[in-house]
Structure 1
Amino acid sequence: MTKDVLIITSYFPPEIGAASNRIFQLAKGLQHHDFNVTVLTPLPNYPTGKIFDGYGGKFRHISKEKNIKINRLWIYASNSKNKLLRLIAMLSYSFSLIWFFMWHKIPKTVIVQSPPIIVAFTSMLFLRKKNRNLILNISDLWPIAGLELGALKKNFSYKLLEKIERYNYKKAKLVLGQSEEILTHVTSMFPNKKTFLYRNFPDFELPKIEKLTSNGKLKIVYAGLLGIAQGIHKLCAELDYSHIELHIYGSGAEQLQIETFISQHPQLPIFFHGQVTRTALHGLLMSYDIAIIPLLNRIYGSVPSKIFEYARLGLPMLYFGGGEGEHVINDNNLGWIATSGDYDHLNSVITTIKIESLTIERKQAIQDLAIKHFDFNRQLDALKATI
């Protein structure tokens, strides 16, 4: 029997990034498992802060993609560093959600993505009827993450966000968390809350691992958002390039700084390749020796989804972000760990990585482990049984 489910998210393709990919995979997976899926999302605008071509001047855009009905609602788009403008952007989408809730029939089962917690709060508040199955999907812990990133301070606003956070957890019948730390945090407030560890496992065709040619330098690649949290600009400045090359793919707030740094240091082997599609990126990543996964500061509850994506590609990783991600890398022998924020240690670890050790057999072992332990469909089957 087909079951209706509504997914409410602030990010969805054609937007790029882990959040967009994660929700798209969930929607597609549920649709393939006999769910009738509808998605509520803003008009695409991330990470540029501008409504994408083809969507401008509209209050609502409706489409059907892979049998998923997608309602894209109006938002005041902005990627400004100004906190007030960011708040206005979130509130504008919240108002669009309220309008939608008033005029449309909402299915019994609703999956709400958080953060942004204000958007999640709007959904939990207006859909809180006792007979509704509200599922909160938490990818990052806010407001704690905002505090650790320096985006928030412990003041009245922070205390208000903590109350909103607590309300969201209280009203959820089931909490999905992408890390053990997230679930521990939720159950510390609500010990009897039903939770489910929902990792951001990818689901794409396995590539064939082939032997790489080498110019004698270790080819390190970073691919993803070029935001403040990732600290790629600082990474460019701190790396020792004696025996390495750094290749960068992506876009975001730091892109101009990175491009300026590269132009001002032409002697350094740093190569910026811009933004490419996820499918194209998978093919390109196979030509590099290792991938680096950095975070400027350790973020409680965060486990970058890149870990699971790169594992499926058979790509060894250098993890530089602290937290639970370190345990995932170490426990599964996926690569190397450098102490978060310690660039001297990062450079020291890089010197221990020998190109000749990056054999096809080693990469194949990583891919085989991903197939066995990071399986999207097996995880989805377990989730399906809980909703």
Structure 2
Amino acid sequence: MTKKVLIMTQNFYPVIGSAGNRMKNIFQLLNDKGIETHVLTTEPAYPNKNLYKDDMFWDDPHLNKSSDKIIRVPIKNKKFSNRIFSRLFLYIEIMFRFLHRLWKLKNEKYDYIYVTTPPIFIVFAALLGNLVVKSKIILEVRDLWPDSLIGVKTFDHPIIIKFFRMLERKMYRMANYIVINSKGFEQHIKASLDVNKHSLIYLPNGPRIHEIVKEKSNREEFRVVYTGNLGLAQDIEHLKHVASLLQEHNIRFDVLGYGMKAEEFIHYIEQNQLTNVYMHKPTTRKKSLELIEQCDVAIALLNDNEVFDTVLPGKVIDYMTCRTPIIAGIKGTAAQVIEDNKTGFVFDQDNVRGMVDKVLSLKANPNERKQLADNCTKTVSKYFLWESNIEKIVEIIYE
């Protein structure tokens, strides 16, 4: 008998970023495996709704024809805000809209609801809605919450955080299975659980087979790249410093950035006349990977907060997918992946000059870059390939 799964997520194709791409891959691959999989999501809105008026982002003809399996609920908010209460009202709105839709789906007989957090409110929509739908719950944790709120210093009221932690433990304990995209989450989650009654599955972000770059194209100009979110978790001040130092050495720096701090970064570039910094507008995953492939070294930065020690940013995997060695100002899980697999070099977040010095060293040593690039390809092919890792989810669905 065919198994049936409903994915509940705020981020889904054509939304840019790691989360949207992740949910797209899970949806497509489960359907390819013969598991009837539907998606309950919002209208694309990150970082703002107007972005998706451009047909460029709707670049998957097969998904565009899958309207019978993709349910999109409308939301009123036009763009994301860094104000905590504006975000809170957005998440509550999404929760109630999802609950309303789950009520309409009560006769669909899903075997599993696959729900992803953050935000946590979608999880509670799944847990409450499941009283009607009556499916098993696979909870995916892409970020530790509420720790991430504390980490970006947006909300740290002790009484509210204590209440949120109670909700977090409740969320973990009500799930039948828990999927994590970083091994750094494992210890924290197990501390909140009766481990004997729960299964933790490690399912990292990664490329599809066709996305892996085998050889870089030939070019003369040496280029450095940063892609992804410019938000509260990213180290925007150190990224500004990187840009300034690269300008001093006349090195081209390509930045494909979006998010709450993007305008601040653009203003800094203009104010300081950093003519070697090329800002790129948000674009599709395919074009983003093409940009990374055209560059020789990639930059990754996270704020120096303990909660981010557990994170494995999607951009790190994307850089390796494109055979682009990584210079990172990060700690913890991501640093270990880079160092253990020899795909780049890791520095303290404050050591920006050391990072740029290593960029200069790699510029002068193409043979070292080639060895790092080979390690990148070996690493993503062995540990991060979606076509291989999806079997972990298929296995529990058929269990």
The answer to whether residue 207 in structure 2 is matched with residue 207 in structure 1 is no
| Residue 285 (structure 2) pairs with residue 256 (structure 1) | no
Moved more, 279-288 or 368-377: 368-377
Structure 1 residue 184 and structure 2 residue 187: aligned? yes
C-alpha spacing 1:275/1:341, structure 2 compared with 1 (3 Å):
same
The answer to whether 1:372 aligns with 2:366 is no
Query: Whole-Å Cα distance in 2 between the matches of residues 368 and 112 of structure 1?
Result: 31
Residue 277 of structure 1, aligned match among 284, 288, 299: 284
Checking the alignment, whether the CA contact within 8 Å between 1:12 and 1:23 is kept in structure 2 is: yes
| Residue 282 to residue 68, structure 1, CA distance change in 2 (3 Å) | farther
2:57 matched residue in structure 1: none
Task: Report the secondary structure of 2:299's partner residue.
Answer: strand
Aligned to 1:221: 225
SS at match of 2:229: coil
State the superposition RMSD in angstroms: 2.5
Matched, 1:17 2:6: no
Instruction: Decide which of 107, 129, 142 is 1:139's aligned counterpart.
Output: 142
What letter is aligned with 1:373? Answer: Y
Q: Is the 8 A contact 2:16 2:283 kept in 1?
A: no
CA contact (8 A) 2:343 2:372 kept: no
Which one of the candidate residues 369, 373, 393 is aligned to 1:383? 393
- When normalised by structure 1's length, the TM-score is 0.90
Name the counterpart of 2:103.
102
Of residues 97-106 and 28-37 in structure 1, the stretch that sits farther from structure 2 once superposed is 97-106
Aligned residue pairs, count: 378
Q: CA deviation at 1:362?
A: 4.1
- CA distance in 2 between partners of 1:120 and 1:292 (Å): 33
Question: What SS is found at the alignment partner of 1:209?
Answer: coil
Q: Distance in 2 between matches of 1:138 and 1:262?
A: 35
AA matched with 1:210: K
Structure 2 unmatched runs, 5+ = 55-62
Larger displacement relative to structure 2 (369-378 or 206-215): 206-215
Following TM superposition, by how much is the alpha carbon of 1:321 offset from its aligned partner in structure 2, in angstroms? 2.1
Letter aligned with residue 307 of structure 1: V
Question: Are residue 324 (structure 1) and residue 333 (structure 2) matched?
Answer: yes
1:90 and 1:116 in contact (8 A); partners too? yes
| 1:355 CA displacement | 3.7
Q: State whether residues 248 and 271 of structure 1, in contact with CA within 8 Å, keep that contact through their aligned partners in structure 2.
A: yes
Q: 1:172 corresponds to which residue?
A: 175
What CA distance in whole angstroms lies between the structure 2 residues aligned with 1:76 and 1:50? 13
- Change in Cα spacing, 1:283 to 1:52, as seen in structure 2 (3 Å) is closer
Distance 2:83 2:269 in 1: 27
- Tell me how far 1:207 sits from its aligned partner: 3.0
- 1:201/1:350 CA distance change after superposition, 3 Å: same
In the alignment, the residues of structure 1 paired with residue 228 and residue 182 of structure 2 have an alpha-carbon distance, to the nearest angstrom, of 20
Q: Whole-Å Cα distance in 1 between the matches of residues 48 and 237 of structure 2? A: 18
Change over 3 Å in CA distance of 1:24–1:68 after alignment to 2: farther
Q: Give the Cα–Cα distance (whole angstroms) in 1 for the partners of residues 205 and 131 of structure 2.
A: 27
Deviates more, 1:135-144 or 1:286-295: 286-295
Contact 1:179-1:302 at 8 Å conserved across structures? yes
SS at match of 2:179: strand
TM-score normalised according to structure 2 size: 0.87
How far does residue 51 in structure 1 lie from its aligned partner after superposition? Answer: 8.5
Q: Structure 1 residues 305, 238: CA separation in 2 closer, same or farther (over 3 Å shift)?
A: closer
Cα 1:365–1:23 change in 2 (3 A) is same
Aligned pairs for 1:230-249 within 5 A:
230-232=234-236, 234-239=238-243, 240-241=245-246, 242-243=248-249, 244-249=251-256
Change (3 A) 1:277 1:131: closer
Q: Which has the higher contact order (CA 8 A, sep 6+)?
A: 2
